[in-house]
């Protein structure tokens, strides 16, 4: 298990990360989302042992990642993929992977088999012996993924893995992440892509130096938002809006783009009353639908609340 216990990191007088704790089990995708400067990359670097925490501990299978005498053993269990591939451009994809496989101490007789299998899985086996400098950004990122898992790590740390990729390449990367999860690897995904986080992650940490909230995507939504009914209407006068506010109080959320939003606890009971009220006040109702909140709504609400403090 990969475990963070009350981890903080301070640069000078500035806290980059403060008192965060979580654990990542095999077969789990754990997401870290937050604005620029929130501490996502700092957290990844501490997990890799590249930065020492100011306080707290990071354990990889009970090995302290920050302990210099044990760090090598911990890193052997970790693969890493950053936004920038960092490959040797004048070498072929095969030679890049062969070089890093040797650094990991993989026996030569196994290297060719592993490289071929991974490249075929990523759909780029036919380009194996081409120079990396001839590849697109998406192709380079696929080679970087292959490098990150060539030593078959138990855990994979991904820092913005689909940034700058075209939709097709990004989809391939997401599918590969799910395949890795199914093979019981633990994955940490730091990303700005909220749709991607909602699609891939089992648990999510919303980070802005401190832990703003953590849980399963669906749990985060239900924790922060009640159910919501959207009523599509014709023109609504200011007087009518005032009547709605007076009639529903805090349950009336907003009126934007010909849509009235209401917070509801029991839609079957409350929605007919909403419609009756609107009709009685000469507001033309077109249709009614459930408004689904998303991880983006959670993110925006938490970050704005934190910045307002």
**Residue range 63-82, pLDDT digits in tens:** 888 887 777 778 888 999 88
- Six token digits for residue 247: 């009639």
CA distance 8 to 92: 40
pLDDT reading at 54 higher than 90: yes
Cα separations in angstroms, 45 against 27, 58, 78, 238: 22, 11, 12, 53
**What value does the mean pLDDT of the chain take?**
90
Kindly state the DSSP code that residue 146 receives in the 8-state scheme. Answer: H
Q: Is the pLDDT of residue 208 over 90?
A: yes
3-class secondary structure, 134: helix
pTM: 0.81
Q: What's the mean pLDDT in 260-287?
A: 93
The pLDDT, as a whole number, for residue 113 is 93
What are 218-230's pLDDT values in tens digits? 888 888 887 899 9
Domains of the chain (ranges; CATH) run: 2-215 (3.40.50.300), 226-292 (3.30.70)
Closest Cα partner for 260 from 281, 244, 239? 244
Residue with tokens 């299978």: 61
270-275 contacts: CB < 8 A, separation 24 or more?
270/229, 271/229, 274/229, 274/231, 274/248, 275/231
Asked if residue 309 has pLDDT above 90, the reply is no
pLDDT at 257 over 80: no
- Return the structure tokens found at 280: 């009685």
Helix extents (H) in the chain: 40-48, 71-75, 93-103, 108-121, 137-149, 167-182, 194-200, 217-224, 238-248, 267-280, 295-308
Answer for the pair 157, 188: CB distance below 8 angstroms, yes or no. Answer: yes
Tell me whether strands 2-11 and 14-24 are parallel, antiparallel or unpaired: antiparallel
The secondary structure element, H or E, covering residue 37 is none
Please choose, from the candidates 159, 296, 160, the residue with its C-alpha nearest in 3D space to the C-alpha of residue 304: 296
pLDDT at 20: 97
Query: Does residue 58 register a pLDDT over 80?
Result: yes
Among 138, 117, 116, CA closest to 129? 116
Radius of gyration (Cα) for the chain, nearest Å?
A: 24
């Amino acid at each position: 298990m990969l475990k963070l216990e009350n981890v903080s990191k301070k640069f000078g007088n500035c806290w980059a990360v403060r008192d965060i704790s979580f654990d990542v089990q095999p077969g789990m995708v754990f997401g870290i989302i937050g604005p620029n400067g929130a501490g996502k990359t700092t957290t990844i670097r501490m997990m890799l042992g590249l930065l020492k925490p100011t306080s707290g501990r990071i354990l990889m299978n009970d090995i302290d990642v920050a302990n210099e005498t044990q760090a090598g053993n911990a890193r052997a269990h970790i693969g890493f993929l950053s936004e920038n591939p960092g490959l040797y451009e004048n070498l072929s994809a095969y030679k890049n992977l062969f070089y890093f496989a040797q650094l990991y101490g993989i026996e030569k007789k196994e290297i060719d088999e592993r490289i071929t299998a991974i490249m075929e899985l990523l759909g780029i086996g036919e380009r194996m012996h081409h120079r990396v400098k001839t590849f697109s950004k998406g192709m380079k990122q696929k080679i970087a993924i292959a490098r990150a898992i060539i030593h078959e790590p138990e855990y994979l740390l991904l820092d913005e893995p689909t940034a700058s990729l075209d939709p097709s390449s990004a989809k391939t990367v997401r599918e590969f992440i799910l395949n890795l999860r199914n093979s019981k690897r633990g994955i940490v995904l730091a990303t700005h892509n909220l749709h991607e986080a909602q699609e891939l992650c089992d648990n999510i940490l919303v980070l802005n130096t401190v832990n703003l909230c953590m849980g399963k995507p669906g749990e985060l939504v239900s924790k922060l938002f009640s159910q919501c009914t959207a009523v599509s209407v014709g023109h609504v006068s200011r007087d009518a809006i005032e009547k709605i506010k007076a009639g529903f109080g805090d349950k009336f959320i907003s009126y934007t783009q010909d849509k009235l939003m209401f917070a509801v606890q029991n839609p079957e009971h409350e929605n007919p009353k909403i419609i009756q009220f609107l009709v009685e006040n000469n507001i033309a109702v077109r249709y009614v639908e459930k408004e689904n909140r998303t991880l983006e709504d959670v993110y925006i609400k938490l970050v704005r609340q934190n910045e307002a403090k």
